[in-house]
Structure 1
Amino acid sequence: MFDWSILKPRLCLLCDQEINQKISWMSLLMQEQETPVCADCFTKFDPLRGELCQICSRVLSAEFRRGSLCLDCHRWEQDPDWQGFLTENRSLFHYNDYMKETIAKFKYRGDYAIAEVFSPLIKDALLTLAFDSVAVIPLSRERLLERGFNQAEALAITAGQTCIYPLARIHTEKQSKKSRRDRINLPQVFQITDPELVAGKKILLIDDIYTTGSTLRHAAKALKLAGATEIRSLTLAR
């Protein structure tokens, strides 16, 4: 039976304006997937391009690099307490003002559907990463009740991934309220719920933003010490 709903106007998930999309007989017959975001909104995102840090995806500059690493990752890897835990973080976009606004709408104002905007890009990125299981950066019970859903889990699920849940988060003050130095020097904020979920496996962590890398490295360290062989991460923004 033909699905006449594809003829209905679609509204952009970000600006609520109608998405102008050309309709052809081929698109009607094939019932092609329509984009959930208009071109004007999508072009406001700034993809990461150029030479990137091999660990965190930061765009490398002459004054802020050590070989193939940015200065931050070089410092992490020089610290014997942190070196080698996070193999690679893949980020898709710069954390520019529009991305900041979009993520705030997504996780602080509870607009779960925004995850669909990024699902095709996340699916493509997943094809280039080696992993056995996908885990998400967990929220504390208090944050989950406050927001209603875990934004990292939403990104993973809308991209078609089945997640494992080997990590639990110890409730702490919001990361957004902490300085860079405070984030880097945090005590361990994760505990392992079930080591058997990760033992001998390559784990891919999914989260929304890579800032200092502290959160992902804490999670990677907990997973590695629980027996995981390799930890990578995928984030929307850097």
Structure 2
Amino acid sequence: MNRCLACHGTYYDQPGWRRLLMIEQLSQICQTCESKLVLISGRRCIKCSRSLDQLSQTYRKGEQCLDCWRWDQQGEILEKNLSIYEYNAFLKEWLATFKFRGDAIIASFFTNKLANMYEKHFQGYVPVPMPLSNERLLARGFNQSSLLMKGWADAIDSLVRTEGEKQSKKNRKQRIRQFKQNPFSFKSESDVKGKNMVLIDDIYTTGTTVRQAARVLQEHGATKVASLTIAR
């Protein structure tokens, strides 16, 4: 009998040859909670992974969502973002428990899923965790992005972040407007020249934060910068 990382109820893992032969890992959440996680499928925005099938034609420009098309008009910095799940109410609450209530073990559910996406789409890219400010790191006790890389990538801390207002407190327009007010700076001892980098984070919302980080890396010589996240 196992205890679910999401609802904390007990459950029995589903038997099967793939798990018996160690081809597939044992589940860490119950079937009820797993059914609430929605994989992004069907037609996606070619830049940010947003589901185009669920998006009105008004908010699409060809194979892109309107947000990414607007970023293109400003001079795109980010190569692409790949996300695994839709950011629905269940995942929003679960990630809040992970980040803001200190339930760090939740990261272990996502590490292999991110590792598989990295192996499939970002071979040769250097993984970089999105940094927290010292104040936020002290309050939280861990960097969620670094935990999401545990076991499959060494954290290359090329960026430093200064404290600012929480992104979760800002609406979409406020996040996009703050693009020029970059909270990230570069660690002088890092070397990213001529390298492709992929930023690791939990959520892609408007794309402002990852583009701010990408801009700093490119200014210091990175060839391409992409991002890999749990949710879009």
Which of residues 62, 71, 74 in structure 2 aligns to 1:76? Answer: 71
Q: Is the 8 A contact 2:4 2:30 kept in 1?
A: yes
Relative distance call for 1:148 and 1:65 in structure 2 (3 A) is same
Which of residues 150, 171, 190 in structure 1 aligns to 2:163? Answer: 171
Q: Is the 8 A contact 1:10 1:19 kept in 2?
A: yes
Please say if 1:136 is aligned against 2:135: no
C-alpha distance in 2 between matches for 1:184 and 1:26: 45
Relative distance call for 1:200 and 1:18 in structure 2 (3 A) is same
Deviations 1:39-76 (A, max 9, x none): 11111011111111111111123221112211101101
Q: How does 1:49-64 map to 2 (within 5 A)?
A: 49-60=41-52, 61=55, 62-64=57-59
Relative distance call for 1:195 and 1:229 in structure 2 (3 A) is farther
Question: Offset of 1:31 from its aligned partner?
Answer: 10
Q: Is the 8 A contact 1:133 1:163 kept in 2?
A: no
SS in 1 for 2:3: coil
C-alpha distance in 1 between matches for 2:191 and 2:69: 30
C-alpha distance in 1 between matches for 2:28 and 2:114: 14
Could you say which residue in structure 1 is the equivalent of 2:141?
148
C-alpha distance in 2 between matches for 1:120 and 1:26: 16
- Root-mean-square deviation (Å): 2.1
Which of residues 106, 119, 135 in structure 2 aligns to 1:114? Answer: 106
SS in 2 for 1:208: strand
Deviations 1:75-118 (A, max 9, x none): 01101xxx231001001111110001100100000111101111
In structure 2, stretches of 5+ residues that fail to align are none
C-alpha distance in 2 between matches for 1:42 and 1:197: 40
Percent identity, aligned pairs only, is 42
Could you say which residue in structure 1 is the equivalent of 2:3?
11
Q: Is the 8 A contact 1:190 1:218 kept in 2?
A: yes
Question: Offset of 1:129 from its aligned partner?
Answer: 1.9
Number of residue equivalences = 226
Which of residues 202, 226, 230 in structure 2 aligns to 1:232? Answer: 226
C-alpha distance in 1 between matches for 2:230 and 2:201: 7
Relative distance call for 1:20 and 1:172 in structure 2 (3 A) is same
What is the TM-score with the length of structure 2 in the denominator? 0.90
C-alpha distance in 1 between matches for 2:19 and 2:130: 38
Instruction: Name which one, 1 or 2, has greater alpha-carbon Rg.
Output: 1
Could you say which residue in structure 1 is the equivalent of 2:153?
161
Between 1:125-134 and 1:166-175, the stretch displaced more is: 125-134
C-alpha distance in 2 between matches for 1:100 and 1:84: 28
Relative distance call for 1:23 and 1:135 in structure 2 (3 A) is same
Please say if 1:222 is aligned against 2:206: no
Could you say which residue in structure 2 is the equivalent of 1:45?
37
SS in 1 for 2:228: strand
SS in 2 for 1:157: coil
